[in-house]
Amino acid sequence: MTEAQKKKQLFGTNGVRGIVGRDMTPLLAMRIGMALGSMRKGTIAVGRDTRTSGQALAHALSAGLLAAGCDVCDVGIVPTPALQYLVRQHFDAGAMITASHNPPEWNGIKVIEPDGTEMDDDASIALEERLFAESFDCAAWDGVGRETAAPDLVEEYIAAVAGAFPGGIGSGMTVVVDPGSGPAARTTPAILARMGCTVHTVNAIFDGTFPGRLPEPSPEGLAPLAALVRETGAHFGVAHDGDADRAVFVDETGTYLEENREFALLQEYVCSTRPGLVVTPVATSRLCEVVAKATGCRVAYTAVGSITVARTMLARAAEGETVVFGGEGNGGPIFPAHQHCRDGGMTAAAMVALLAGGDRPLSARAAGLPPYVMLKEKIMTAEKEGVLARVAAAFADTPLDTTDGIRINLPRAWALIRPSGTEDFMRLLVEGETKADAEELYTRVRAAIGKPKA
């Protein structure tokens, strides 16, 4: 196996993921535990989502960590951002057993660094290299770690999120929460209730078979949430993915709020009182720039991936910039005053605060944003470099942003063509001020791409 093939063979954009019993096994989890325990010392917090395979994988991972000489604190079933918060407060690192939005048969591991961010590429490659080389620290009898449990430590996260807003800010407000049978069943309803909201729930019992809907909160899967919002006269409904780092919304009429519009509204809420730098990937809607201009903010673009965004936010802040907001337009905003990761519970809480500040309902606020139109296409091809070269040549007289793939910026539209890092396809995103603007640029980009080789 070459070094290049070894590079991030296991770790993807957000940790290791695979189908349980085939790619993701207790044996792999134990080896990851041994490798991580050889790289990071001290006490490692282990959390998990509600998947049926969670306990087996958590025990295996913990066995590896203990054998390598680390202590383990089992924090139980918690959202990924809750684990991230607790690691930053109390632990030397963390490991989250989750497959995020993937279907029930999947599971995986996200490694959390002492500052609460997810492990970056270089450290993930180092961890993999240790794993493949079986270069493990194996403690002697008097060096093996101890395991403790802290099943109620998550209360600190609930208190921190609710405590980030003025007391009682949600009083008089009714909300509906759909944690999707995942770990936020314990946290988001509690956070919103503590803010003063009347809270109703759907799919709010831990269940790794996901009987109500899949872990990915699609508009179709959220029909029961939308129905309960209408039935209870709620101000909004919020739903999470399988590990609750993302949050998506339906408005008071039960209509799904497109995630880029969610991002823009929350950005407006944060930036209108505190201008500064907003950090987001090149795939985010230009609504971000519209809101930035209106609130006296600037936008810095990064490559796609929440870890890249979070680390860029930390780096720019370390350079002395006032970084006020960031994240991804997929239900994954980052509130740096709270922590540098996507946080679904915090996103839900921020929506309460946003709506508490006025009498305009969520639907009216969303309608107040420009009605930009986004087109998305997945192009199956192994010929990624060729496609990029043809697009670059066709738009040679246009300033191109090559932060991640190629982004073409025109006055009334923009497009992004970006290769998948692991599979044989490319993603094309086109956004226009109108449908006609989007379609015109889409036609030009598609003509430049031609018929790529499968």
Q: How far is CA 307 from CA 1, 40, 60, 278, in A?
A: 27, 19, 26, 15
Q: Toward Mg ion, which CB reaches closer, 96 or 270?
A: 96
For residue 256, the cross-strand partners are 250
How many residues touch Mg ion (CB under 5 A)?
Answer: 4
Segment contacting Mg ion (CB under 5 A): 129-137, 140-148, 234-242, 280-288?
Answer: 234-242
Active site residue 218: no
252 binds Mg ion (CB under 5 A): no
Choose, from 62, 100, 124, 306, the residue flagged as catalytic.
Answer: 100
For residue 428, the cross-strand partners are 377, 417
322: how many CB neighbours lie within 10 A of its CB? 13
In the list 178, 243, 262, 437, the residue contacting Mg ion (rule: CB under 5 A) is 243
Segment contacting Mg ion (CB under 5 A): 181-189, 193-201, 238-246, 296-304?
Answer: 238-246
**Pairing label, strands 298-302, 43-48:** unpaired
CB of 79 to Mg ion, least distance (A): 9
Q: Toward Mg ion, which CB reaches closer, 43 or 100?
A: 100
Segment contacting Mg ion (CB under 5 A): 92-100, 119-127, 138-146, 260-268?
Answer: 92-100
Contact criterion met (CB below 8 Å) for 192 and 349:
yes
100 binds Mg ion (CB under 5 A): yes
In the list 49, 128, 178, 241, the residue contacting Mg ion (rule: CB under 5 A) is 241
49 binds Mg ion (CB under 5 A): no
Q: Toward Mg ion, which CB reaches closer, 245 or 262?
A: 245
Q: How far is CA 180 from CA 42, 111, 238, in A?
A: 34, 23, 10
187 binds Mg ion (CB under 5 A): no
Contact criterion met (CB below 8 Å) for 229 and 237:
yes
181: how many CB neighbours lie within 10 A of its CB? 26
Q: How far is CA 43 from CA 74, 90, 150, 152, 268, in A?
A: 10, 9, 13, 17, 39
245 binds Mg ion (CB under 5 A): yes
Tell the residue number behind the tokens 């190629």, with chain if given: 406
Q: Toward Mg ion, which CB reaches closer, 100 or 260?
A: 100
CB of 240 to Mg ion, least distance (A): 8
* Rounded CA separation 113/211 (Å): 33
Residues tagged active-site: 100
Contacts with Mg ion by CB under 5 A lie at 100, 241, 243, 245
